[in-house]
A and B are shown apart, each in its own frame.
Chain A
Amino acid sequence: DAKTTQPNSMESNEEEPVHLPCNHSTISGTDYIHWYRQLPSQGPEYVIHGLTSNVNNRMASLAIAEDRKSSTLILHRATLRDAAVYYCILRSAAGGYQKVTFGTGTKLQVIP
């Protein structure tokens, strides 16, 4: 599996934007970039995914570098409910079964 690297932890003030980085220098041309987050005592939940172009949804935006070796998850206005562990993972579009490999993610603290 292609690997991703994320900072262990980040802090943000409430109502400010948060930029969560992810490096994936060995990404292949058919890998999608997915982000999940896990709130305390819950299972992970899907946030957003993309392939090449930047993506927006109601939860967040995903900015993908032109060379695709890094990406950034953007929360436009952090709230206390956004305090969670955020995981960046790669999923191949090459066909067939793909195991999902989670790293340790970035623990986001939101300060009131």
Chain B
Amino acid sequence: DTGVSQDPRHKITKRGQNVTFRCDPISEHNRLYWYRQTLGQGPEFLTYFQNEAQLEKSRLLSDRFSAERPKGSFSTLEIQRTEQGDSAMYLCASTASRVGADTQYFGPGTRLTVL
């Protein structure tokens, strides 16, 4: 499968624990995005990488959240001291640099439940 993959698909954790999610984009895509989606809402932008550089972070991304993309390949999203409000689907998408017409390819998401 050459699509975007995410791991794990589901994560249940207790409040206060740290969690880390991984995204493997399509190999030739240099742009990578993280989104968060809660029930009944569309995906909300969290952060964006071009190669290994994190170029934008949403105000939704509090200081408990950190994302990395070492070497411009896979990316990780870490949430420290999780809260119940962090429960959501975390989506990763990648795209090649084709402005305006660039198609975002999404992974299946990681569903986080914080108890």
> Which chain A residues lie closer than 8 Å to B99 at the CB level?
92-96, 98
CB distance from A31 to the nearest CB of B (A): 8
Q: Is the pair B50, A42 in contact by a Cβ cutoff of 8 Å?
A: no
B74 in contact (CB, < 8 A): no
Known: A32-B100, A43-B93, A93-B99. A102 touches B105 (CB 8 A): no
Specify which of A93, A96, A99, A105 is in contact with B101 (CB 8 Å cutoff): A93
Known: A42-B108, A42-B109, A45-B106. A104 touches B41 (CB 8 A): yes
Known: A32-B101, A44-B106. A97 touches B45 (CB 8 A): no
Q: Is the pair B100, A44 in contact by a Cβ cutoff of 8 Å?
A: no
CB nearest neighbor in A for B55: A97
Instruction: Indicate the size class of the contact surface on chain B.
Output: 20 to 34
CB distance from A90 to the nearest CB of B (A): 10
Known: A42-B108, A43-B91. A102 touches B44 (CB 8 A): yes
A residues 37-65 with Cβ under 8 Å of B? Answer: 42-46, 49, 51
Q: Is the pair B103, A46 in contact by a Cβ cutoff of 8 Å?
A: yes
CB distance from B107 to the nearest CB of A (A): 5
Identify the A interface with B (CB < 8 A): 30-32, 34, 36, 42-46, 49, 51, 85, 87, 91-105
Given contacts A45-B106, A97-B56, could you give 9 more A-B pairs where the C-beta distance is less than 8 Å? A34-B103, A46-B104, A91-B101, A93-B100, A96-B99, A99-B45, A100-B104, A101-B45, A102-B43
